[in-house]
Amino acid sequence: MSASTVTRLVIVGGGTAGWMSAAFLSSLFPARQLSLTVVESAEIGTIGVGEATIPPIQVFNKAAGIDEAAFLRATEGTYKLGIEFVDWLRPGHRYMHPFGQPGQAINGASFHAWWLRLRAAGYPHPLSDFWMSEVLARKNRFDFPSSDPRTPKSNLAYAYHFDAGLYAQFLRRIAESRGVRRIEATVANVALDGADGTVSHLDLADGRRVEGDFFIDCTGFRALLIGQALGQGYEDWSHYLPANRAVAVPSQRVAAPVPYTSATARTAGWQWRINLRHRTGNGYVYVSDLISDDEAAATLLANLDAPALDDPRFLRFTTGRRRSRHKNVLAVGLSSGFLEPLESTSIHFIQHALIKFAATFPLAKDDPVSAGIFNRIMAEELEQVRDFLVFHYHANDRVGEPLWDRARAMPLPDSLVEKMALFRARGFAIFPSQTLFQEPNWLAVMLGQGLEPQSYDPLTDGAPLEEVRGGFDAMRRTIAQVADGCHPHEAFLDDGAAVPMARARA
């Protein structure tokens, strides 16, 4: 006897979302327990963006049984230590949102609280000097986190840049080796059960029929199952995040790839640059009522650091979400909603949905209790990330530009207003209901976007100021020395042997 009556699961759509679903679930459920089928059509293109990730991708890859070195080779991947934001506060200004943390808490107070106390007394060195990930990124060096708390490498965290199309192919090979069945076909009709309103089967364009107990909708913005068949509406968040277009183009690689993503503010939006081993990924996210598609493409092409390798590709979207689990359908990827990739969260939302789906795996074809808690978890995650993205736009000094003027003046979610008030009062960055982005993430972006604390944690007043200053000076020297001793980023990418060798040193 099995705890669940779901034994046949059908994934509709391939691409990154579809093959992440297949690879992950096939690693958790043996084929004798859960048969997995992917229905995809070469006639329907995939978006193919989402080449930058954040550190939780490591959790997903490990759970899916993916070898890191093989994955990087197969996807032309590079390492990522953070995101550099250029011109967001004002033209000519830049800062980094580094991964990891600047240091451990000291005597019950956050590391940055001690730095704030020092800065109030005239300490000249920026917090970035103590953030190991940023120090390495600026030097174009890399190393893995260490389990030894005595080294600053214990505060490191990292993610990846990779070719999303190659990632999907890599995952497909893994999934098919575990028995996942692939059907090349176009879905002509989604049939519902007249008794309970669940999805009964798929009618394919070639006349075949695919039955299942549960279905995962990876059909992108079409939302063929969750939206069109089950009628789950879309909640529009464009009043908070008005960008609704993107244009993307690859360019030649002209220099050693750097271990961070770049996001540069433009008049009508922002431009990304992602360094891969074989090329550079570029794109411009923009508001269509402020710039035409042709003007956006021209702006993007004019700001490449090397010749383009293809024609620009355009993407239309509306920022928002829908309830992503209903009846016997789970929406994964763009079918569930979309937040612009400013903080590289697109692939994260895919993995987060799959991990939480596995944790609330349906006991029956329609399991409203499990679906209810799943939808709550996903809603909280999306709202927290929405607040994080909105803050990037809102906290700016780009006066006289319509997009940025509008962002400064727009009404904010109450949850974001509270976060800003707490940080402004005392540098407090531990907020209620924190999910993906924690204290170090908010700290880096709030300081970077110019939100200045008016005070600091009084717990730090217990130690003599000169003692604190001496400790910070010593840490700063140690971090610089350790960073100089790390290998150039590209050295880790020359061959797969670099990965296990470097881990052995950590």
Q: Which helix (H) or strand (E) holds 440?
A: helix 439-448
443 annotated as ligand-binding: no
**Is 334 labelled as part of a ligand binding site?**
yes
Q: Please calculate the CA angle 445-446-450 and round it to the nearest 5 degrees.
A: 110
62, 80, 365, 419: which one is catalytic?
80
Q: Is 121 annotated as a binding residue?
A: no
In terms of residues, how long is the chain? 506
Mark whether 80 is an active-site residue: yes
d(C-alpha 185, C-alpha 203), whole Å: 10
Residue 290 known to bind ligand: no
- Contact predicate 78/160, CB 8 Å: yes
- CA distances, 404 to each of 102, 157, 444, 452, 468 (Å): 30, 32, 20, 20, 39
The 8-class DSSP code of residue 90 comes to S
- How many angstroms separate the Cα of 291 from the Cα of each of 278, 313, 317? 31, 16, 15
Q: Which residues pair with 429 in a beta bridge?
A: none
Q: CA 124, CA 101: separation in Å to the nearest integer?
A: 20
Please name the residues in contact with 194: beta carbons below 8 A apart, sequence gap of 6 or more.
none
Dist. CA 68–CA 60, nearest whole Å: 11
80 is in an annotated binding site: yes
Residue matched to tokens 């190991």: 132
Are 201 and 211 spatial neighbours (Cβ–Cβ below 8 Å)?
A: yes
Rounded distance between C-alpha atoms, residue 316 and residue 57, angstroms: 26
Residue type, 427: G
Residue with tokens 């509709």: 12
The response to whether 16 counts as a known ligand-binding position is yes
The answer to whether 118 and 469 have CB atoms below 8 angstroms apart is yes
Q: How far apart, in whole angstroms, are the C-alpha atoms of residue 446 and residue 396?
A: 11
* Beta pairing class for 320-321 and 235-236: antiparallel
What is each CA distance from 427 to 173, 199, 419, 444, in whole angstroms?
Answer: 48, 50, 10, 11
Q: Which two tokens stand for residue 253?
A: 């690689």
Tell whether 343 is in a known binding site: yes
The label of the residue with tokens 């890599």 reads 170
Rg, C-alpha atoms of the chain: 23
Torsion sign, CA atoms 72, 154, 429, 373: positive
Going across the sheet that includes 313-316, the strands are 94-98, 82-86, 261-266, 269-275, 280-286, 245-251, 313-316
Residue 14 assigned to a binding site:
yes
Read off the DSSP letter of residue 125.
S
Flag whether 17 is marked binding: yes
Binding region for FAD: 14-17, 187, 334, 347
Binding region for 7-chloro-L-tryptophan: 80
Binding region: 14-17, 80, 187, 334, 343, 347
Catalytic residue positions, numbered: 80
Binding region for L-tryptophan: 343
